[in-house]
Amino acid sequence: MKNILLINPWIYDFTAYDFWLKPLGLLYVASLLKKHTQFQISFIDCLDRHHSLLEKKSKTRPDGRGPFPKEQVPKPAVLKDVPRKYSRYGIPLSIFNHELEQIPLPDLVLITCTMTYWYPGVQIVAELIRKKFGPVPLILGGVYPSLMPEHARSTSGADIVFQGPGEKGILPLIRDILGDSSCPASQFETLDEVPWPDFSLLRNKETLPLLTSRGCPFKCSFCAVPLLFKDFEQRSPSSVIDEIEYHYRQHKVRNFAFYDDALLLNRDRQISSILNGVIQKKLPLHFHTPNGLHVREIDSELAALLKRANFQSLFLSQESFDEKVLKDSCPKVSSEDLEKALVNLERAGYRREDINVYLMVGLPEQDASGIRESIFQVQNLGAKPKLAYFSPVPGTEVWHNLVAKGCIDQDADPLLHNKLVFPYYWGNFSSQEFESLKDLVI
């Protein structure tokens, strides 16, 4: 019997908040392993805000969001000019080491990492694993190694870097590394072939993530999604409905957060079918949309359906009201779309002041006055602006432009991709202006 250890590492950052954050990709891999192998799976979640050994219980909002525990750590030298505290977010190191004591000696360790500038969390995990277990093979997957495989190979401490979604090749890789022919060499081409994520591994299941699709057909110039997923793919609505009902009945889950990047696309055959199916089941559920909904899709019919299905904490993606920014960076929206969507949502029974609207901050073509103007426009429409800070993602169009202009070095430390770094290094406005924008939305 082989033992596989899955680890969701800490976040090292200036700020982090549990915005329905769960290691969904890793939990998909766990379900693949459970379904297709006899391996024993262990899981350590460094971001577990509900760990029983935490001295202070985390404050959790009714919808499942809340702050991570944190410990201030020395700021890396490359970030010395950013006048903010730098912390490790998640469980204390002592709890992690305690967890390592509880599990069998692993034959293989799988770690995930999302943001490129969170790689220090992987490094410390790799270090502690080596210290405890010696030379166990360590595979790193997730967004960071998919976007920056060379950096991940040379810097993260992992032995093997896995790029792309887990179902497309993780089982054959594990089979090769372990030399174990009982692990199938199966690959899965569609999301419907992949078993639902294994949420039984999570300690707290008050809110679970849901994925009904992968990728996005738009090509916003700053976004990593088109780089990570070549095609836009949607699951069959019946599979999503079954999954929701299963988690409700099995784990008593009442809150679901959609992780889709384009949840509303093909709405008649996709989200409308899913929601009508869920409504028919009469389950007492709440839905959340942390990734932002495409405002153009929200007509009166869909707005009414969102309300009937009990979508709460709505987040909409407007990004900007500046025509140049919209044309250059966000072809998915126009400046009139938000107003229409808000009218439809209000008619459906939502209060405008409860609707959050994402606005980008820090795109290279933006200046402070344009962002201020966009904030006022959202406020004038009666909704709540939410600032979404730009992070330069390697490989995107904006990234290439910044490199060409000499604003950022091609080989810069990924710590400089941090979304709070740009005002101090290469933004179009000062850190004071940056802070004053934040004050406008409090």
Assess 216 for contact with ligand SF4 (CB under 6 A).
yes
Among 332, 386, 417, 419, contact with ligand SF4 (rule: CB under 6 A): 332
Q: How many residues bind ligand SF4 (CB under 6 A)?
A: 10
* CB of 7 vs ligand SF4, minimal distance in Å: 27
The backbone region for 5, taken as left when phi is positive above 0, alpha when psi lies in -120 to 50, beta otherwise, is beta
Other C-beta atoms lying within 10 Å of the C-beta of residue 181: 8
Q: How far is the CB of 317 from ligand SF4 (least distance, A)?
A: 6
- If one asks whether residue 235 binds ligand SF4 (CB under 6 A), the answer comes out as no
Work out whether 253 is an interface residue with ligand SF4 (CB under 6 A): no
CB of 218 to ligand SF4, least distance (A): 4
223 is a site residue for ligand SF4 (CB under 6 A): yes
Among the listed residues 332, 328, 377, 330, the one whose alpha carbon sits nearest the alpha carbon of residue 357? 377
Distance CA 359, CA 296 (A): 15
Q: Does 218 participate in binding ligand SF4 (rule CB under 6 A)? A: yes
Stretch that binds ligand SF4, among 24-32, 45-53, 61-69, 217-225 (CB under 6 A): 217-225
Asked if 295 interacts with ligand SF4 (CB under 6 A), we say no
Choice from 18, 99, 198, 261 touching ligand SF4 (CB under 6 A): 261
Q: Which residue is associated with the tokens 């009904």?
A: 212
Question: Least distance in Å: CB of 338 to ligand SF4?
Answer: 15
Residue 231 gets the label, from left (phi > 0), alpha (psi -120 to 50) or beta, of: beta
* C-alpha to C-alpha distance for 158 and 152, rounded to whole angstroms: 7
Stretch that binds ligand SF4, among 62-70, 89-97, 213-221, 276-284 (CB under 6 A): 213-221
Of residues 46, 220, 263, 420, which one binds ligand SF4 by CB under 6 A? Answer: 220
Could you give the angle at the alpha carbon of 410 between the alpha carbons of 407 and 414, nearest 5°?
A: 90
> In 28-43, which positions are buried (b, 16+ CB within 10 angstroms) versus exposed (e)?
bbbbbbbebbebbbbb
> CB of residue 272 vs ligand SF4: minimum separation in angstroms?
20
How far is 253 from 259, CA to CA, in rounded Å?
A: 16
Residue 326 Cβ, how far from ligand SF4 at the closest point, in Å? Answer: 11
Pick the closest to residue 109 from 90, 135, 91 (CA basis). 135
CB of 220 to ligand SF4, least distance (A): 3
Separation between Cα atoms, residue 165 and residue 393, nearest integer Å: 18
Report whether 422 contacts 390 (CB < 8 A): yes
| Residue 225 lies near ligand SF4 (rule: CB under 6 A) | yes
Edge to edge, what strands does the sheet with 11-13 contain? Answer: 11-13, 87-89, 70-72
Query: Does 260 interact with ligand SF4 (rule: CB under 6 A)?
Result: no
Token code pair at residue 207: 């809110």
Judged by CB, which is closer to ligand SF4: 108, or 293? 293
Nearer to ligand SF4, 170 or 223 (CB): 223
Report the interface residues with ligand SF4, using CB under 6 A.
Answer: 216, 218-220, 223, 225-226, 261-262, 332
